[in-house]
Amino acid sequence: MPDPADARRRYAPYGLETRPEARGLTRQEVATRHGAAVVHHAGLPALPGEHGDDDAPVTVLLHGAAGSWTTWTPYLRAADETGRPVARPVLVDLPGWGDSPEPAVALDVEAAVDVVLEVADALGVDRFDLVGHSMGALVALHLAVRVPTRVTRLGLVSPTSFAALEATDRPLTGLVRLPALVLLRAVFAVLPRASSGLLRGATRLGLLRPLSSPVFRHVRRVPRSVLEAFVAEIRPRGFVAATRSAHGYDTTAWSRVACPVAAVAGADDAFAERRDLARLRLVLPGARTTLLPRCGHFAHVEWPFATVDALAPTEPARAAAADGEARA
**Quick count: other Cβ atoms within 10 Å of Cβ 163?**
20
Domains annotated on the chain, with CATH? 4-161+249-327 (3.40.50.1820)
The rounded distance, in Å, linking the Cα atoms of 195 and 201 is 10
Give every strand in the sheet of 151-157, ordered side by side. Answer: 26-32, 35-41, 89-93, 59-62, 128-133, 151-157, 261-266, 288-292
Instruction: Identify the weakest region by mean pLDDT among 60-69, 148-157, 191-200.
Output: 191-200
Query: What is the average per-residue pLDDT within 202-222?
Result: 71
3-class SS of residue 312:
coil
pLDDT at 35 over 90: yes
pLDDT at residue 237, as a whole number: 72
**Pairing assessment for the beta strands 89-93 and 35-41 based on DSSP bridges:** antiparallel
Percent of the chain with pLDDT over 70: 81
* Pairwise CA distance, residues 164 & 251, whole Å: 12
**Residue 134: left if φ>0, alpha if ψ -120 to 50, beta else—which one?**
left
- Tally Cβ neighbours within 10 Å of residue 323: 10
DSSP secondary structure string for all residues of 208-268: HHHHHTTT-TTGGGS-HHHHHHHHHT--HHHHHHHHGGGTT--GGGGGG--S-EEEEEETT
pLDDT tens digit sequence for 11-33: 999 999 999 999 999 999 999 99
Q: Which residues pair with 292 in a beta bridge?
A: 266
Q: Does residue 316 carry a pLDDT above 60?
A: no
Nearest to 78 by CA among 278, 319, 306: 306
3-state secondary structure of 156: strand
Query: Measured between alpha carbons, how far is 242 from 115 in angstroms, rounded to an integer?
Result: 14
CA 14, distance to chain mean position in Å, is 17
Per DSSP, 11 falls in state S
Q: What is the mean pLDDT of residues 122-127?
A: 95
Please give the model's pTM, rounded to 2 decimal places: 0.87
* Per-residue CA distances from 113 to 45, 90, 136 (Å): 23, 15, 10
Q: Do 129 and 59 meet the contact criterion of CB atoms below 8 Å apart?
A: yes
Compute the average pLDDT of residues 143-161: 97
